[in-house]
Each structure stands twice: as structure tokens, then as C-alpha cells.
Amino acid sequence: MIKSNIKLVVLSFLLLISFRPLQSAEMVDPIKVDWSFKGLTGTFDRASLQRGFQVYKEVCASCHSMQYLSYRNLGEPGGPEFSEQEVKAIAASFEIEDGPDSQGEMFTRPGKPSDKFKSPYPNIQAATAANGGAYPPDMSVLVKARKGGANYIYSVLVGYEDPPPGVTLDDGVYYNKYMAGNKIKMPNNLMDGLVEYADGTESTVDQMARDVTTFLAWAAEPELEERHKTGVKVIIYLVLLTILVYLSMKKIWSRVDTEV
């Protein structure tokens, strides 16, 4: 009886939440991509992460910061897994401000793997001023900070279109099918052949969008692979223990005339 009532409750609740408002006409659900990192055992595509880093470095990084990442992260397990030499070389290609030295002066030096990713602007105000009044958000946790996650980021990157007739856009504003309100201040920066991939992959807009989104997904959740792997082990352990405890329970309760 209780069971059938619970069923009733669940059913009516499902009915309730299926009752959604009509989406406003211009909002479009993001494209669903079959990411390799989805699912219980999902992992990142190493090559895609490395290509994604290249897109980030050559395109995104001129406006977007990634202040919570360090260069060393690029060589850590579960990420792009660049070799130690590559990580050192990547870090060294940036001039990092350090100091003060013993004379009280700030100075610049080549980056080290322990340095955080260098930001393109000194602060949010400078970034906002340089980008027509729209702050290019820090991308460290961007995938987690947007409803729709990786699908949404990818969709926006490939969602630039000419505005439909009747829609006029101000200077420095672009039309994007997937952006909330359809207006975005980031121009469409991706065009076919924009970067020259080291592994020879053809750099179509779609390919670059996929790669850089994969890279951003890793940046937001660098623990994802370890989390998935540990999770599978934890669940298996818990299920086995649950079975043992269940059998013990049955045995103990067999002394009593009550079912458990």
C-alpha cells in the first residue's frame, strides 16, 4: 500500500516537472555532443586536450584569463599530459612578473611550471575597458559556471549567425543562436584553418570548438578522470560490503520471527 502510494507521489511529481513553460522563441537548447568525458568511465581525449590548449593559447588567451590553472597542471595525469620538457618550455615562453627583489623592484623572468597561467590584463577593469565594456570571463571554471556546461560552450562557439531580418545590432555586438538573449560581445574568432595543429589535424571551426571545449572542461574539472576511476572502485567496494552486511543481517535476524 505504501509502495503504491509512493509510486503515485513519484508519478505526480514527474508529471509536474514535465510541465515546463514554453521556451521563449529565440532561446535554443545547446547542441548535444557525445563527449568522451561523459558517463561513468569518461576520460578526456589526450590529443584533443593538447590541441584545445593550442587553440586557447593562440586565440582565447589574448582576452580570457585562466587564473586558477598553473602551467604544471598541463603535465599532470588526467590532463593534456604534456611531457615535463614541454611544460617547462610552455611556461618559459611567458614573461612573468615577480618580485619585489632585494632592492624592492619588480622584475620579469621566464615562467616556471609552478606559475599560474599569465592573465592577458592586469585586472578585471582593464579587461572590461579593452573589450568594449564586456569583461571576458575567466575561463578556469567556465564550463561549470554555465548551464549546459560543455555543450553550451561548444554551441556558442559554433553558434554565430547573421542576425535574422528585423534584428539590428549595435557596434561590437554579434548575433549568436545559443547565447542567452542572442547578443554576444565576443566576436566570432574561429575560422577554418586559423591554427596550425601540431598533430596535423585539420583545423575546421567545428574541430577547434570541440578541442577548446574539451580543454575547458578539463580546466574546470581537472580531477574528472581520477574522480571517475575512484568512483567506480568505491561503488564496487560499497556494493560488495552491502551484500555481506545484508547476508549477515539475514543471518542475525533469522533468530527472530520477524522479516527484515
Partner 1 sequence: MSEHEYTPKSKAGKWFNDRLPLLTLGAHLTDYPTPKNLNYWWTFGGILTFCLITQIVTGIVLAMHYVAHADLAFASVEHIMRDVNYGWLIRYIHSNGASMFFLAVYIHIFRSLFYGSYKSPREVIWIIGLMIYLLMMAAAFMGYVLPWGQMSFWGATVITNLFSAIPLVGDSITTWLWGAYSVDNPTLNRFFSLHYLIPFLILGLVVLHIWALHVPGNNNPVGIDIKKPSKDTVPFHPYITIKDAFALLVFMIIFAGFVFFTPNVLGHSDNYIPANPLVTPAHIVPEWYLLPFYAILRSVPDKLGGVILMFSAIFILFVLPWLDTSKVRSAVFRPIYRQFFWILVIDVLMLGYVGAMPAEGIYLVLARVGTIYYFLHFIVVMPVVGYLEKTDPIPMSISEPVLTGGAEPSLARKVNDKV
Residues near partner 1 (CB under 8 A) are 5, 8-9, 12-13, 16-17, 21, 40, 68-69, 73, 137-138, 140-141, 144-147, 149, 180, 220, 222-223, 227-228, 230-232, 234-235, 238-239, 241-242, 245-246, 248-249, 252-253, 256-258, 260
**Residue type present at position 100:** P
CA gap 218, 95 in Å, rounded: 25
Residue with cell 553558434: 159
Nearer to partner 1, 196 or 227 (CB): 227
Contact 146, 73 (CB under 8 A): no
Cβ density class 241-260: b for 16+ within 10 Å, e for less: eeeeeeeeeeeeeeeeeeee
Torsion angle in degrees (nearest 10) through CA of 106, 112, 118, 122: -10
Q: Give backbone dihedrals phi and psi of 227, rounded to 5 degrees, phi first.
A: -60, -50
Residue 104 beta carbon to partner 1: minimum distance, rounded to whole angstroms: 24
CB of 231 to partner 1, least distance (A): 3
Taking the complex as a whole, the smallest distance from the CB of residue 251 to partner 1 amounts, in Å, to: 9
Q: Output 198 or 247, the one with its CB closest to partner 1.
A: 247
Residue 30 CB, shortest distance to partner 1, in Å, is: 13
CA dihedral of 139, 29, 176, 24, whole degrees rounded to 10 = -120
Closer to partner 1 by Cβ: residue 117 or 208: 117
By C-beta, is 73 or 176 nearer to partner 1? 73
Is 180 or 194 the residue whose CB approaches partner 1 more closely? Answer: 180
Closest approach of Cβ 86 to partner 1, in Å? 20
